Every structure is written in C-alpha cells, then in structure tokens.
Amino acid sequence: MKTIHYILAGIVMSATLFAQNGSFIASKSYVVFKDNSDAPKVILNFENNSSSANINVHTLSLIGAHPDEFNITTDGCSDTTLYPNQNCNVEVAFTPKNDGNKNALLKVPYGDSNTIYVFLTNTEDKRHNVIKRLAPILSDVNISEDLNASTSYDLTWSLIGYHHDYKVIVTMFDCTGMGTGNCGSSYSGSEKFLETDPVVPSSIESSDWKYYDQNASRFNYTCSVTIPDKRGNNESWNSSGTDIVVRFYVLSDADGKNHKSSLSLIVPGNLAKRYYDTSGRKIEKTVCPDTGCSDE
C-alpha cells in the first residue's frame, strides 16, 4: 500500500493514497477547496467494501496544521457500524479565518486501531495538478494482428500516468458493415462482442515521463482473452477475416467512486496495422475462423 506524506505544523502525517485501508474506502483522499469562505462544502463518502465483516467507525476529528480553518458540518459516520456494502457520508466546509495556505487532515478511526485520512487544503500541490492536466496513455501494446476464433490470447500493455490505482477494461467491436471511423464509437455500442473485467497492474515501475519535477509511473498489465467461436449475432466469422476494433478504457478508483465515466486511451505512434480513426484510440485487428483466414 503506497502512502503520501504531508508535513503539517512540523509533523509528518501519512495518509494512505485514495484513503483506503483494507475494505474501508473513502471517495476522496485529497480535497482542494476554493480559496474563500464561500467555497462549496464537500461531501465525502465512506464505504465498507467487505462482503462479510462489519466495520465500527469511531469519532471523526480534524487534525494537522490548521484544523480550526475547516469544519465538519454534517457527520453521518462517527460512532456508527457499517455493515457489508453499507456507506456513510460526512460534509466538510472550508472556514478560513484569514488569508494564506491552509491544510488539515480529516482523521477517520475505525476497527480496533485503524485510521485513514483525507487531506484538506485550499492549495493544490504539483502532483494533483499534474493528475488533472495529463491523462494516461498506452504504451507497448502487444496484440496479434490476426486473432482466431475459439482461441485464447495473452494481451500485454503498459500505461503511463500519475495515478496509482488505474484499472483497464479491454473491449472489442465487430466492424462488419460499418464505415471507417464509425465502429466502436460508443463503449455500449451493439457491435461490442467482448469486454474484459477491470484489469489491475501486474507491476508498477518508474517511467521517464516527467512534467516539471513530477515523474509518472509505468503500469504493466497482462490479461487473457478468448475470442468467441461466433460473432455477436451468432453468425460465423468471415472466412477471409472480419475487421474488428480494440479499445482500452481506464478508470482510477477515485474517479469510479465519484461516478465519473471511464477514459478511452490513446496509443501514440504507429502500429503494424492502421488505426480505425485519426485519434489513435481505436486499433484495427482481424478475427479469423478457428481454422485461420482463407486467401479469398
């Protein structure tokens, strides 16, 4: 579990990234308020993500450098028991007494001796500024050009970005009868015939991608997919090959908890076969029957 360290009033505080610990999860780990007393209040959601265990939440508090510059205006979590898949909400306001940079931690104790923190501030640090400005991109995508029906393939790819918790969904669309650029235009399009479960990184390493002094990470993925024996309409794959589109969608845990939609990823550079659109988001491949494509 990665942690991020904040120095508040000379004390180093460690807050678990994405404010999670085991099965207890917060919707945000980092809140930036507008720099005035009229800043909108923020609602934080805390969830027991366990399938079986209850979680006892104890009394919440504000600590750190400027706890009196923030206020818990509504507290539906303190001294409660969350049953599996149950959640509670806390509303927090920014109430500055004077100008300047203000920071505090919302301390959320639970269980026997566990705690998660949510960092509250009116000043965005470089890391979170970069996360908002630079979307992740794909790298080193490895997919066979021709995919045979009823066959399993190990797909590998990397993602370069600044979050730590990206999940990726791989989708495939049958482009029969569709003009170039139209196939796979919608995540929920009727031509979609394959969708993986969210794939988590198999390893994470440092990358050379840097924005000012902020280095991105390289997230490496692998998953196995099996091409269906029939097309989505239950017809056979074309003997000479059926054009398909492969797309990658990414969602960070924080975005998911805030009900944001997934992001369609771009593959920079050239692949062996052309893209199906000009953005580089839709990669063209071919599905053959299980005996392979004919020369028709």
The full set of domains in the chain, from first to last, is 3-124 (2.60.40.10), 132-288 (2.60.40.10)
Rounded CA separation 141/147 (Å) = 15
The dihedral through the CA atoms of 16, 18, 19, 23 has a sign that is negative
The pairing of strands 283-288 and 242-252 is antiparallel
- pLDDT for 35 beyond 70: no
Place 50 in a pLDDT band, splitting at 50, 70 and 90.
confident
Residue pair 121/128 in contact by the 8 Å Cβ criterion? no
- pLDDT for 148 beyond 50: yes
Q: How many Cα atoms within 13 Å fall on the side-chain side of residue 265?
A: 26
Three-class DSSP category at 5: strand
- pLDDT for 233 beyond 80: yes
Q: Tokens 């580089």 correspond to what residue?
A: 280
Per-residue model confidence (pLDDT) at position 257: 58
- pLDDT for 261 beyond 50: yes
The pairing of strands 30-32 and 80-82 is unpaired
- pLDDT for 180 beyond 80: no
Between the alpha carbon of residue 223 and those of residues 154, 198, 226, 273, the distances in Å are 6, 10, 10, 22
Rounded CA separation 103/83 (Å) = 32
Rounded CA separation 41/73 (Å) = 9
Place 164 in a pLDDT band, splitting at 50, 70 and 90.
low
Q: Tokens 């960070």 correspond to what residue?
A: 252
The proportion of the chain whose per-residue pLDDT surpasses 90, expressed as a percent, equals 43
- pLDDT for 17 beyond 60: no
- pLDDT for 269 beyond 60: yes
Per-residue model confidence (pLDDT) at position 40: 83
- pLDDT for 12 beyond 80: no
Place 172 in a pLDDT band, splitting at 50, 70 and 90.
very high
Three-class DSSP category at 217: strand
Q: Taking the C-alpha atoms of 209, 3, 52 and 200 in order, what is their torsion angle to the nearest 10 degrees?
A: 10
Phi and psi of 106, rounded to 5°?
-85, 115
Per-residue model confidence (pLDDT) at position 289: 94
Amino acid at 196: T
